[in-house]
Amino acid sequence: MAPRPMLAFDLPAVAAPAECLAWDEAMLDAVEHGECGPALWFWQAPAPCVVVGYGQSPRREVHVEACKADGVPVLRRCSGGGTVVQGPGCLSYAVALPVHFHPALETIRGTNGLVMARQQAAIQSIVPGHVEILGHTDLVWNQRKVSGNAQRRKRQAVLFHGTFLHALDLALVPRWLPQPSSQPAYRDNRAHGDFIANLPCHPRAIREALTRQWHARDGPPPAAVLPRVQQLMAQRYSLPGWHDRRAED
């Protein structure tokens, strides 16, 4: 049987960030159960939010009181990795792949290498200067981090997702995030303002470059996945307790 071509799609601009995070997990489940082929999708939060990794404690990784004062929700995703600010000026993407898509997907390290190499090539094709992969899954442009990424694995499928900064108000990051509790060596304890940067390109150019690199074909979001999104919203992503819980709980 010929492999299914990769689908590329955009989540609705009106979708809340919590719903977009539910889509990420729902698509992983759909690929795991063979209900959907490989897919690449994009979204941009209409307002700022903070997203912590699955195993992280918001009390440790977030200036919670500042977020409350500013009306910024603190959300939890289904994958590991560090805490990030998302919102206008930040393009979020995700890719869900069956493990048989490529031999490298059999391992965490191989998955990181496969996906990040494609992300690096895509961004290098649209910006001047040097784009490199540092840490495990950071994309760095001219020595500044422009994209953070994480993965979640199941037996038959892998979710790999992240963000690309292109016009984020970088001054907001230290207001809402302290220095992270875990840092890659290349950060060298730099403050947020000295560590991150925006890519000098429109988000449409980023989307097009990634779609080309993955040889994906544009289409609508899979309608069959929507009930699973709604279920995950009811079970987790609409519940404050899911987002607020301590990592130790």
pTM reported for the whole predicted model: 0.93
Distance CA 177, CA 74 (A): 11
Tell me the backbone φ, ψ of residue 48, rounded to 5 degrees: -65, 150
Q: What's the structural domain count of the chain?
A: 1
Tell me, what CATH number does 211's domain have? 3.30.930.10
Please report the pLDDT score of residue 3 as a whole number: 55
Q: Which residue would you say has higher pLDDT here, 240 or 3?
A: 240
Is 200's pLDDT higher than 80? Answer: yes
Which whole-number Å values give the CA distances from 212 to 31, 80, 232, in the listed order?
21, 27, 31
Q: Do 22 and 232 form a contact (C-beta atoms < 8 A)?
A: yes
**249 located within any domain:** no
**216 located within any domain:** yes
SS3 annotation, the chain: CCCCCCEEEECCCCCCHHHHHHHHHHHHHHHHCCCCCCEEEEECCCCCEEEECCCCCHHHHCCHHHHHHHCCCEEECCCCCCCEEECCCEEEEEEEEEHHHCHHHHCHHHHHHHHHHHHHHHHHCCCCCCEEEECCCEEEECCEEEEEEEEEECCCEEEEEEEEECCCCCCHHHHHCCCCCCCCHHHCCCCHHHHECCCCCCHHHHHHHHHHHCCCEECCCCHHHHHHHHHHHHHHHCCHHHHHCCCCC
Please report the pLDDT score of residue 2 as a whole number: 43
**1 located within any domain:** no
**57 located within any domain:** yes
Average pLDDT of 120-139?
96
How confident is residue 107, by pLDDT bands cut at 50, 70 and 90?
very high
Strands 217-218 and 131-134: what pairing?
unpaired
Q: Do 83 and 50 form a contact (C-beta atoms < 8 A)?
A: yes
**2 located within any domain:** no
What average pLDDT does the chain have? 94
Q: Which domain holds residue 24?
A: 7-244
Average pLDDT of 123-139?
95
Residues 6+ apart with CB under 8 A from 155: 32, 99
Residues 6+ apart with CB under 8 A from 227: none
Is 162's pLDDT higher than 60? Answer: yes
Distance CA 90, CA 17 (A): 12
